Structure 1
Amino acid sequence: MLAEIDRITRSLRGRCRLKCGYPKDETVEKVFQQIGLFDILEKRHRLQVTDEDTTVAKWRYASDVSVNQVSADALMKIIQAQLPAGYKKLVTGVGEAMDNAVHHAYLRPRGDRLSGSASADERRWWVFAEVLDGWLHVAFCDLGLGIPVTLPEKWAEQIEDIVKLTMLSEGKKDRNMIRRSLELGRTRTEQDHRGKGMRRNILKAAQDLGGRLSVYSNMGAVGIDFSTTPPTYKDGAYTESILGTVIQWAIPVKEMQDLEDEHDNHSNR
């Protein structure tokens, strides 16, 4: 929602102004303040967010139009003291999502009624991060064409079963396209501009840290829980599109000693 409103306000600035009322729920109002939604809508902050607002105060937010892993790293370093030693894997995953958004997700304009202006068609991404109750939560969003649209164009030489997928309903096709994207490593051409695939960084970040990964794109969704053995999959196929891609990581925050013990156990196998 924030990404869509941000795009609308950037595109129509000077021609139209969005307005909103205040939520009846104070927690919701504080969340809107904390993540920057009220700032986008030029809405005055009425409430004070304190450390006692545990479900609100630790949310952090960033947005940009460049592939700049420093942007992701800066966001993560705000809560670095609460992160596991291996958090850099997650930063790499966020960086790969940025790269995909800038170089692939926006191959063409979105094609809606706002398209045609520089602000509407810019290759922007949004990231949210929070540490709460022993878990690091990171959510990445872009408003591009979606994985099911860009996947065939980026990985045509490795998707020989693409015709079979197009015979499914839109929701099921999108779901299967997402699952297929998580299986891909690097194209056979080994061309740098073709990307490294979601498996190498986006999926690996959750896998190596024993967390959960959820990917929503257009009408499909795929969730993988790596805290179970074997990993647990949960898929979804919907009738309406989110018109973009949302990637969510949930990573358990562990003490350094726990991580060292896990590494030693793995090495002794």
Structure 2
Amino acid sequence: MKKITKKQRQRDVLYSLQLRKSYHPSKQSSKKGEILIANQWIKENQRFIRQLDKKRKTYSIEFPEEVNFSSAFVESVQPINAIRKLIELDSKKHRLKSINMNNINGISTPASLVLTAEIDKWNDKVGRKLVPQTEEWTENVKAQLSDLGFFELFNFDKCKVTTEPSTLNIVKFIKGAPGDEKKAKILREKIEEIVGNRVKRPPLFQALSEAITNVTHHAYPKTYRSKKHWYMTASFCNESRRLKVAFYDQGIGIPSSLPRSNLWERAKAYMNRLNLYNDHPSLIEAAVEMGRTQTDRENRGKGLQDLLEFIKQYGNGYMSILSQKGLYKFTCENRSERTKKESLKYPILGTLIIWSVIVPEKGGAS
């Protein structure tokens, strides 16, 4: 047998070491496991996820006729969540190519805000290159999303629509980041433009400011790597005189932020005292009932309680908080108050706060 040289031996050792470094069976098996889980998730959701090209592994998400978190929550939230899920997967194995909104006949203001936020996140991911295909959209959906400011997310002219004048007035959404409390004044002024002086200015401004402040302090922890944004809009129906304000952030959610806060011990004591389960609806309820934000500063407002106060001052309205898999709703009817909690089968990826009131008639007492 031929004897190898010392130099050849060194080359063989170096080559062997390189192979060892490049081979990570645990990482490879983990990657395969992630792909299998993703494939199974897509298979289970073929009702609204359609494969466009098997070779290129591209997918489309199809939306139902009604997108409304109140009357069709599951059917609405699943395709919206699928946008986030697909853009976070490995684009070489699963790539979101398009979303199909041709079937939508009606979309609520809160649902349209969340959908806009998730598409905005996707648009960031692809370098702001998305272009909406609106040729087969219904006219009322195009009009509503156009009023919301949806098309301003893209290099796309405002849609020309031919619908009849609507009784629903929509405020163009405002996008901000933690610390942008001053933008609460912008939305308040926009609301006053469509409602007039019938809206109670200080309680409304306090509620808007507190929603933004809560995002600043616990929606996005320092370890959160994605862009930290919140979205806010409002609508007013002339016929019913219902004002609805929606606020959405894409953060970790109240059920995850509360255990990290300096209110956690008090929250646990509150839940133990009332024999509440440590589930998402109860965690949201505890966050509301604590009465102060997790910063616990004396010069601050009363956190989510400020949002409730806005409802109470009108005597007729509600506030809903949907966060992860929890729903907490406070309702006030003719000054009579009640609350309800509900576990959600599918999560809201962040926190959605909706508060709605019936404003007085023109010339009525405010």
The alignment's TM-score, normalised by the length of structure 2, stands at: 0.59
- 5 Å matches for 1:177-216? 177-186=283-292, 190-191=296-297, 196-199=302-305, 201-210=306-315, 211-216=317-322
Change (3 A) 1:226 1:49: farther
Displacement after TM superposition at 1:50 (Å) = 8.0
Q: 2:201 aligns with which of 65, 72, 87?
A: 87
SS at match of 2:265: helix
**Alpha-carbon distance between aligned partners in 2 of 1:67 and 1:135, rounded to the nearest angstrom:** 29
Q: Which residue of 2 aligns with 1:152?
A: 259
Contact 1:69–1:92 (CA under 8 A) maintained in structure 2: no
The equivalent position to 1:234 in structure 2, one of 337, 340, 358, is 340
d(CA) in 2 for partners of 1:74 and 1:49? 29
Q: Are positions 1:132 and 2:244 aligned together?
A: no
Instruction: Calculate the aligned-residue CA RMSD, in Å.
Output: 3.1
Task: Verify the 8 A CA contact 2:293 2:304 in the aligned structure 1.
Answer: no
Instruction: Flag the structure with higher strand content.
Output: 2
Equivalent pair of 1:219/1:238 in contact (CA under 8 Å): yes
- In structure 2, the residue matched to 1:44 is 157
Q: 2:355 aligns with which of 249, 252, 260?
A: 249
Distance 1:190 1:225, change over 3 A: closer
1:9 equivalent to 2:123? Answer: yes
Q: CA deviation at 1:152?
A: 1.9
**Corresponding residue for 2:144?**
31
Q: Secondary structure at the match of 2:165?
A: coil
Task: Report 1 or 2 for greater relative contact order, CA contacts < 8 Å, sequence distance ≥ 6.
Answer: 1
Highest Rg: 1 or 2?
A: 2
**Is residue 60–residue 130 contact of structure 1 (8 Å, CA) maintained in 2?**
no
Check conservation: 2:280, 2:343, Cα contact below 8 A. yes
- Equivalent position SS for 1:214: strand
- Say if 1:157 and 1:187, in contact at 8 Å, map to a contact too: no
Give the letter aligned to residue 267 of structure 2. I
Q: Which amino acid aligns with 1:196?
A: K
Distance 1:103 1:188 in 2: 7
Tell me what 1:77 maps to.
Answer: 189
Q: Which residue of 2 aligns with 1:267?
A: none
- Please list every run of 5 or more consecutive structure 2 residues that lacks an aligned counterpart in the other structure: 1-114
Decide whether aligned partners of structure 1 residues 28 and 257 sit closer, same or farther in structure 2, where only a CA change above 3 A counts.
closer
Amino acid at match of 2:265: E
Q: What is the Cα deviation at residue 225 of structure 1?
A: 1.4
Matched length: 244
**SS state at 1:53 partner:** coil
State the identity as a percent. 26
Query: Would you say the 8 A contact 1:96–1:202 is kept in 2?
Result: yes
Contact 2:271–2:286 (Cα < 8 Å) also in 1: no
